[in-house]
Amino acid sequence: MTTRPDVRAAIVAGSIVAFVGFGFAATFGVFLRPMSEELGWGREVFSLSMAIQALCWGVTQPLAGMVADRFGTARVLAFGAIVSALGFFLRGTVIDPTVFVASGVIVGIGTGACSFPVVIVALGKVVEAKQRSFVLGLGTAAASTGMFVAAPLSSFLLNMVGWQNSILVIAASFLLILPTLVFIARVSKPTASDAGGHGFGFAVRTALSDRSYVLLFLGFFVCGFHVAFIQTHLPAYIADKGLAPIIGAWSLGLIGLFNIAGSFLSGWSGQRYSKKSVLAGIYFTRAIVIALFILLPLTNFSVYLFSAAIGLLWLSTVPLTTGLVAQTQGLRFLSTLAGLVFFSHQTGAFIGAWLGGRIHDTTGDYTMMWWTAIALALLATLLHIPIKEEPGKLARAEI
């Protein structure tokens, strides 16, 4: 790890941003069942808001990356934190299904601008190439730690103060990001400050002409589908099967806990082994884990075992995918191009979150969704095999 004090401080600050910015947003599915039952909403209402949130996150991500590349990351993160707080404040104060669905736009824009991908890309630029995978893994692990803490804390708050006050606590938590940004601003400098619209347009067109980048783009769609479906609907699925609701909350917490190890392992593996091969292995293993989960009897133990296994595979795709974007496309437009890949991720998240609610309301269970997740995992495995781990045209232009 670099010994520069300002970089170390920025890494700590970035980890705090990832912790706060991701935790509650990723575990908000804990609120699905209690809110839907108390308010008399079908699950599609909640699911649609989460799906719109994911999609708006995805649309915002490349735009946020473009602004970060040109003007620096701290401003983007500050904007995102304030907008996220506003979106959750509306969710906790205005009881109306239309407003709740529409709040997904505000929360999505906010979390897209202050999410951990924006942070880890910024940190990845200020460390040496040999340290990049580890730092990307560290930032992802910090986000996972937030998920581990937020899931049981949300369940505790639900029981103690109700869903409305709990959501207001979530809104306030995003404001904790603001004081940390001074440390990130000191090291996160613009890398494309001299690039006009033509420069960004050329970068995107060049990347999209690279088959390896396109395959990463398509593969990350599957990751988003898995993550959004599971984090939105797993607690409700578990409660539907007759297990205690707290088991569902702890399932998300365990996913976050084991993803800490998975993220570090992913970052470490990306420094030593073929990133595309590790990614293909992650998606293939996901297919096996999900299949075993739905085929074996559901018990507390099987839920915890599934959560631990899927947690190891959860966001372990992020440092590897981001690392491959940097490796194949270079650093100058990394925030922009990594953000575009995250748009694909969040498009998959939109479909995973919304379709889960739609299928449940139509069929009464999630069986079709689980098998779709398995099929997509196998498809993603195949998509990563042809990727070439060498600098593309855009990266070679920086040399």
Position 130 scores a pLDDT of: 66
Position 293 scores a pLDDT of: 96
* Contacts with 322 (C-beta within 8 Å, 6 or more apart), sequence order: 117, 120, 121, 124, 136, 338, 341
What is the domain extent for residue 200?
A: 5-396
Mean pLDDT of each 10-residue bin along the chain, 399 residues long: 67 84 80 86 86 86 78 86 94 89 92 79 69 71 81 85 91 91 76 56 82 92 93 90 86 86 79 88 96 95 95 87 85 78 88 90 92 97 91 69
Position 129 scores a pLDDT of: 66
CA distance 139 to 292: 30
Total tally of structural domains belonging to the chain: 1
Note whether 101 and 87 are within 8 A (CB): no
Instruction: Tell me which residue of 43, 162, 185, 173 sits closest to 100, measured CA to CA.
Output: 43
Note whether 94 and 43 are within 8 A (CB): no
* Burial status of residue 285 (CB atoms within 10 A of its CB: 0-12, 13-18, 19 or more): middle
Tokens of residue 372, six digits: 């779709």
Count the neighbouring beta carbons within 10 Å of the beta carbon of residue 375: 11
Packed helices 5-26 and 97-114: angle between N→C axes, nearest 10 degrees? 160
Indicate yes or no: pTM above 0.85.
no
Note whether 29 and 236 are within 8 A (CB): yes
Position 128 scores a pLDDT of: 67
Tokens of residue 83, six digits: 């907008």
CA distance 150 to 30: 10
CATH assignment of the domain containing 270? 1.20.1250.20
Greatest distance between any 2 Cα atoms in the chain: 59
DSSP letter at 180?
G
CA distance 123 to 180: 14
CA distance 368 to 124: 39
Q: At 221, which helix (H) or strand (E)? A: helix 211-240
* Contacts with 225 (C-beta within 8 Å, 6 or more apart), sequence order: 348, 349, 351, 352, 373, 376
